[in-house]
Structure formats: structure tokens, C-alpha cells
Structure 1
């Protein structure tokens, strides 16, 4: 077998002929993808691991380049509560790469996946700075997609000001670059992730003026059995609480950002209390800040599964997720999906799902005692995730804080009044029609930022709950990420170029 690229380097040295298929390809090197790749390689299969990041770990285990004289990933072991698990996976990855079982292509953005009679055709583009944008093609008999998720965002007056970021973005900037996006920080939204972000920024030296949580801890009272099944989650939460207490960070419940104030950048935020129905009251006094980190949970990244036509369902948090069986198989032959794309539930769940997918895709036993323990762990973490989603929903009255001029789609500068007019004047009763008439979700981000808000507003104006079709309209894309026209032309000229059905799977 040709010598694969050394994991973690940016210079590609893998001479494998693209016509020679790998046994298993894994897309995404976060918790689920790493576990899937090393498990499949341990089963004796030839494995390709593709990831847009320069270093393995994904968003959860994001870490800076190693300091001179330090081993890759040492900072992650120190920073993350689950860093030891990452270190073990990282060692396994290096082990299989060194023995030629696994080819790791970091810095490669997969933008198109198609299926033919021989398996899967995967198109990716290098994203390393200074690398020419030339598509690399790979084939695989089996495919495991672990695309992860992105921060959910809801528009609020002033959220387009410099100094307003996704909570995960503020955390990633510190973890990946050791840079603070602000010195006087407000963290707001809903969910336990806010505690992690606030605690991390406080430990890094920021003055966190508060955590504004839209939910209430009392919502967990009826869900304690799910917490008891995953005691490590409770320990983790208590650790975050202790960090906030040590830094004297105020924690307000049933409180949201009603408005962000500033001219050329953020200078303050105004809170509002939520009533029992989730509707915001009057705005309170200004709180001076230079960074507002907003997080409303996570939206699974489904571009690649939807390209292949994988079946989906609505999860407990209202997200569109891929439907899988008890071995993480999707309904497309040869396709497995693991991690946040099957339901947002954290790194431990992702590792367990990725391990099970790797076993199954490699044809290894999935019925023994170890596999039963693995399934039990998955079931426990999924129960916890469901409890978390139900305890921290998007407030029912969130759209009440929008003004007519509040921007919903930043790329196309579409405001809330335009979205409402699409329904009231033009009869747009679903997200797809709203998208077509207003251009919400048709800009550079292709709906990754505004997709949830567009779907929720469309269903709200139509007087109904969001459907799978609403969410799919903002999640399906014919190309997962932007590529040049030259790459498309080159791909179309090649025999078997666009692989048939996938290009028509979404809307631009």
C-alpha cells in the first residue's frame, strides 16, 4: 500500500490512485469521526479520514498548534475536561497512519459526495492558506459521515454589530488561537454550553459580566432520572458552576438579550425577563460590554447526508437530524452517520456512536458484550441529550423581540418586516417559499446562520409548528461549500463527473 500522509501535516504525500477505492472513508475528525476512523482501521480496513481542520479534534477538541518541544494535543489534555480521551484517540490515529492502515487528509473541505455502483465518490478541496484550490477525488466502498454541528443563532436588534459573536465562535477563538474577542463579556442564550463558554473565557482573563439563561434550572426537576444515567455530565456541570462562582460571574435565569447597543461596535446590551409563556418583557437597564456571545444550542450540519438523500427526522430540540438504525446506518446502502448529525448530544455520545459506526462499517462484530455496553452508553447519553433539549428550548415568544428593521439574513440584508411581508402579501407559508421570495439563506453562508430563524418565522407566520420540509429547505445545498467555477467545469468534464442525483438535492 502507498505510504499515507503523516497525520497532522499540511503537505500531502498520498499518491493513492483515485480510482482505487478505500474500504472506508470518514468525513470529519471530531470526536465521532476520530473514533470511527481508528475503529475501522483497527479492524484491518483501509481508511481515509478527511477533515477541514488542520488538526484533529473538531470543534469540541479544538486546540492551538503545539508549542515548540510539545507533543500534538498536549494543550487539549490540559484544557478540556475530556482531554485524556482525545489524547488516546490521537495516539491511535498516529499509530494507524504509521502502519499504513489510515490515510489522514487534514485541511480538506468535502463539498460533494455522490454514490454509484462501486460505492462513494468524494470531492474535496484543500483549504490550507496558500494551497491552490484544486479538487481531490477519492473513492470508498463504505462512507461514515461525521459532519458535526454549528451554533444556532436567533436574530436580535443590534446583533450585526461588530462584537456580537456565536458563543462557540468566541470559545473557538480562544481555544484555537489563544485570542480573546473581548474583555468585558456577556454570554447569553440557553443550554449548559453557556456555562462552558463563560467559564473558559473567565479563566482566560476576560471579565464575564453575566450569563443570561433563557431557561430555568427547575425545568430539570422532572428529568433527573436521565441525569442519573450519566453522572459524568452532572460532575461536569458542577465544575462549570464552581468556575463561575470562583470568578463571581452572575447567572440570571429566564433572561434574554432584548437589544444590543452601539454605533460602530458593541457598547452595551439590554436584558428582558421572560414570562411563563416564553415572551420577553420590557427591556431593562443597559449593561456595558464589548462582546456579546450568543448561543441557542446547535444545528447539525446535514449538507452531505442530504446530498445523498438520507432520511431525516425532527429531534427533541426541533433540529433536523439523520435517521439511523442501532448500528448508525442510514437508509442509503453503505452509509453510516454518527455524532451531532444524528442528534446533538456532546463528545462522549459522538465517540460512542463513531465507535459503533466504525465497527459496523468494518464488518466487525456488533453483538457481543462490549457492543451491548456501547449501545447502553449511547442510550444513556441520548436520554440525557433529550432531557437537555426539553429543559432548554428556544423561547416560544422569541420573535416578539424583533423590530421591523431587525436583520434576519445578514448575507442578503433581509429584515424581519420583509419576511413577514412574504407571508402577509405574497402568501409564503413555508420556509422554502420565504427563501425564494426574500433571498433569506441564499447568501454566502447559504442559510447556516439564518436558516433556523427563517424556518421558525415562516411557520410562526403560517400559524403552525415547523416541519421537516421547513428545516430541509434551509439545510439542503447542492454543493456543501463554495468552490470555483473552474473546479466545477473540470469536474463536469471528467467521466462520471457529477455522479447523477446529488447535484439536484438542494437549492442554491
Structure 2
């Protein structure tokens, strides 16, 4: 099929109960937008399903377009690239070559022969959109579902005012205001820097940024950072912001306790040695705090890939990731993966992977010879992936984090399961995996279904702060219903 004829036939083609497209894309973040732009450029029809109410994902979350609020991009990195991708996205919608389904969840995906069927439901409850189809079909499927903040429990983290670091940033970007006035940010990794910078840009104060790593881990990996000079420029910008705003940046420092009566009021910190033990005399009490942001990297969102039987592996940071080949093709025929679900690496890598996946998926769906991916593009992917690996190794989960927990520290906030109960289940009932813990203690049984506590519970079940087994991590995201839905969504199914 020529590209001209493909473009003429691009609008949706009804085939039975489900609408059919050349390429279906789940997710409208950096990877999803890049996938859509590449697929459209190849002449394919595409449909994008996203739980957000507007394109951009978590990384490019911005002010409400429905309310007519223009976002100037001041709180964002790569905003010009977003505008470029968004222009291609909007043109696709305007020419009816792309259909956008916002505020929608894919709660189940099924591989057919050929193609895929996706079952949809409103992302935020019933009554949102009567126009939302119950299911759609596509010849090729690209999953770009991203990830979510990885969390580790700390005494007091269940107090109001404690949020994931990404949650604070998302709140600021979407609302243009802060969920507090004076914050402490703690965890590990470069992501702590933009969170703190966004807070001061929006008029808040950062009492301290507590980085658990020493940063010496970058010394043997400096050559990987040199390969992506844009990261160094970005880092220099944050350093200048920290200097101008006088933000204390404390390395090898952890939050040991969050204090407050009914909400956050103070934070206790300590320096730690290489074994994760608190250095005597290094404890500090930071008072007058009403917000805490915690971030220990990100966890790929793997519910849909695991539903479809995608092969997985454990990344260097301990997270479970989906595996792909050089053109983002998974082991499931016709299924491509892009972005954080193949390994957390940032927006630049996500866009690169999305372009490759979208191009290959579109060519296959149109019956064209797939061709080859430009070498420069593949080299860029390797450089970004190498940097991501260095970042994970330089900012590991800190040793000794589990030893600082008390028996009554909440591990699962949804079900209020304390650490002591998880430890007893591990020691007395051989509960060394997430599934056993979920069945016995209810950890991971709540609304988030283990997305917040799954990594930590798997670590605790494995034995203290040990690296969790890949099988245990898989249990936390393997479920027949990928997202919460109403019973009505099941009753409305045609099949």
C-alpha cells in the first residue's frame, strides 16, 4: 500500500463490534506522542488512549487546556520538543488520521490473530464519556505506559503533607501552585533537583534536599555522562538555581523520621556511612516544614505488558522491566514497547524509542518493508541507555533503609499494614514474596494495588532491604484487570 492511499484510508474502519486502526498507542507522554508522530508520518492511522485529560503525560503535565490556561513551559524541560510533537498530534486529530481518547483506561488487552483488541473504561469513574468505545482493534500495538514514583517507607510517611516527589512536581505543573509552603525533599537521583527547582520557582521554600548517595559513584562513570552533554547543561542550571535560592543540598543524608500531630511539622535527618548506618552526631531536626517529597527513582508500569505475556528482566536498579529488540519490538508478535517500561531513562530516551517504535509499527501494519533504523538514532539510544545505567548505579537504593524502620512503621498505606506484620509473615509463614504478603497481610490489596508499596514489600519479604526477586516484583503488577473499573464496565461488554 502506498503512503498516499494509506492516508486516504486512515480514518477508523469499523470491523464488527470494535473500531480498527493501523496502530494503537497506549499513553500520551513523551514516548506515546513520539510514537504517534512517527506512525502518522508513515501514513498509518492511529488511535491514542491515555488516562490523562490532555496530552503530555506526567513529564509534560501542564495547565488545564479545557480551562483555557496557557502554559509558557517555564516549569518544563524539552518544552519545544513537546510543542513540536503536539503540533503533529493535533494535525493528526484535525485530519481524522488520529483519534485521541483521553481520560480512558485500557483495563485489558488481548492479542488476536491478527492484531490486538483493547478494552476501555473511563479512567476516573462512571459517567465520564458516553462516546468512549468499549473496545478498539489495531493491527499493531505500542505500549508507552510510563512509570510511577518508587517509594520506600519511613516512620511518619503516612502523615498528611507527605507526597511522592513526582506528585509534588505534577501538582505544581498542573495547578500552578504548591501543596505547601516549606518542603524537605529526600531520596536519591537527579530527579530530586527539578522538583526542588519547581518549588522555588513557584514561590515555595526548600529547607533541604537529602540525597542518600555520595555522588562518588559518578567518578568511574563520568565518560557516560560526557556522551550526553545536555544532561550536564541541565545539571548546571539546577546548580545555579540551588545557589541563587540557597537550597541546602546534603549528600549521603537520609530522612529518618517525619514528625507531626495530624500533619507534617518537622523532619529528622542523619548522615549515613557506606553501610547505611547513621553517623553519630549527624542527626538534625528541621522544623517548620509542611511538605515532604520522597523519591527513590521510578518503577515501570507493566500491567498491560504482563497481561500480554511480554518477556521481562531485572534492571540494574532492581526494577522489573520489559525487554525489546533494537527496534522496540517485544517477544509478542506485533507488540512494541517504548519509554520507561523498557527501563527508566528519561524523556529524551523515551522520545527516541517512541519514534523508532511508531515507525516500525506503522510500516508493518501497512504491509511495507520495515526498512532500517538510522544508525545515528540507534547510537543516540545507546548513549542515553548507557547514561541511565550509570545513573542507576550512582544512585542506588541506600543500604540499611529497612533497619531504620520501626515495627509499627506503615509499609502499605492503603491497607495500613505495618512493617512488623510483614516481617512476621516472612519469618513465621515463609512469606518471602509479594503474593503471599498480599494474601496474608493485605499489603498491596488497596486502591493502588501495590504500585506504591510493591517494591518495598518485595524487599522486606526477601529479607530486610535485600534486592527483591524478579518473580516477586512480577506478582505486584500481574493482574487480569490492569486498572480499577466499575462492575458496569464489565456488564457493558459486547463479548
Q: TM-score range by the shorter chain?
A: over 0.9
* Superposed displacement of residue 473, structure 1: 1.2
8 Å CA contact retained: 2:208, 2:247: yes
Look up the match of 1:411.
Answer: 414
* Superposed displacement of residue 96, structure 1: 1.7
Asked whether 1:482 is paired with 2:478, we answer: no
Provide the C-alpha distance between the structure 1 equivalents of 2:35 and 2:466, rounded to a whole number of angstroms: 39
8 Å CA contact retained: 1:260, 1:268: yes
Kindly tell me the number of residue pairs found equivalent between the two proteins: 480
8 Å CA contact retained: 2:10, 2:43: no
1:163 to 158, 161, 164: 161
Look up the match of 1:47.
Answer: 46
Q: Give the alignment's TM-score, normalised by structure 2.
A: 0.92
Superposed CA deviations along residues 353-400 of structure 1, whole A, max 9, x for unmatched, are: 0000011101277655x6211111110000000000000000121101
1:472 to 471, 474, 493: 474
Gapped regions of structure 1 (runs ≥ 5):
6-13, 496-508
* Superposed displacement of residue 468, structure 1: 1.1
8 Å CA contact retained: 2:39, 2:359: yes
Pair 15,163 (structure 1): closer, same or farther in 2 beyond 3 Å: farther
Superposed CA deviations along residues 46-74 of structure 1, whole A, max 9, x for unmatched, are: 10011111111111111002498776xx5
Provide the C-alpha distance between the structure 1 equivalents of 2:72 and 2:122, rounded to a whole number of angstroms: 26
Gapped regions of structure 2 (runs ≥ 5):
1-7
Q: Give the alignment's TM-score, normalised by structure 1.
A: 0.90
Asked whether 1:373 is paired with 2:376, we answer: yes
Superposed CA deviations along residues 54-105 of structure 1, whole A, max 9, x for unmatched, are: 111111111002498776xx523x4322100000000011112222211111
8 Å CA contact retained: 1:135, 1:487: no
Provide the C-alpha distance between the structure 1 equivalents of 2:35 and 2:356, rounded to a whole number of angstroms: 7
Asked whether 1:422 is paired with 2:421, we answer: no
Which secondary structure state, in structure 2, belongs to the residue aligned with residue 350 of structure 1?
helix
1:131 to 128, 148, 151: 128
CA RMSD of aligned residues (A): 2.2
* Superposed displacement of residue 279, structure 1: 3.0
8 Å CA contact retained: 2:336, 2:357: yes
* Superposed displacement of residue 490, structure 1: 2.9
Provide the C-alpha distance between the structure 2 equivalents of 1:348 and 1:440, rounded to a whole number of angstroms: 35
2:444 to 437, 441, 459: 441
8 Å CA contact retained: 1:2, 1:15: no
Look up the match of 2:176.
Answer: 178
Look up the match of 2:233.
Answer: 235
Which secondary structure state, in structure 1, belongs to the residue aligned with residue 484 of structure 2?
coil
Asked whether 1:393 is paired with 2:396, we answer: yes
Provide the C-alpha distance between the structure 1 equivalents of 2:480 and 2:300, rounded to a whole number of angstroms: 17
8 Å CA contact retained: 2:25, 2:46: yes
8 Å CA contact retained: 1:280, 1:398: no
Answer with 231-240 or 128-137: which moved more: 128-137
Provide the C-alpha distance between the structure 2 equivalents of 1:353 and 1:189, rounded to a whole number of angstroms: 28
8 Å CA contact retained: 1:149, 1:300: yes
Superposed CA deviations along residues 420-465 of structure 1, whole A, max 9, x for unmatched, are: 000221122223222222111111110011001011111125x964
* Superposed displacement of residue 149, structure 1: 0.5
* Superposed displacement of residue 179, structure 1: 2.1
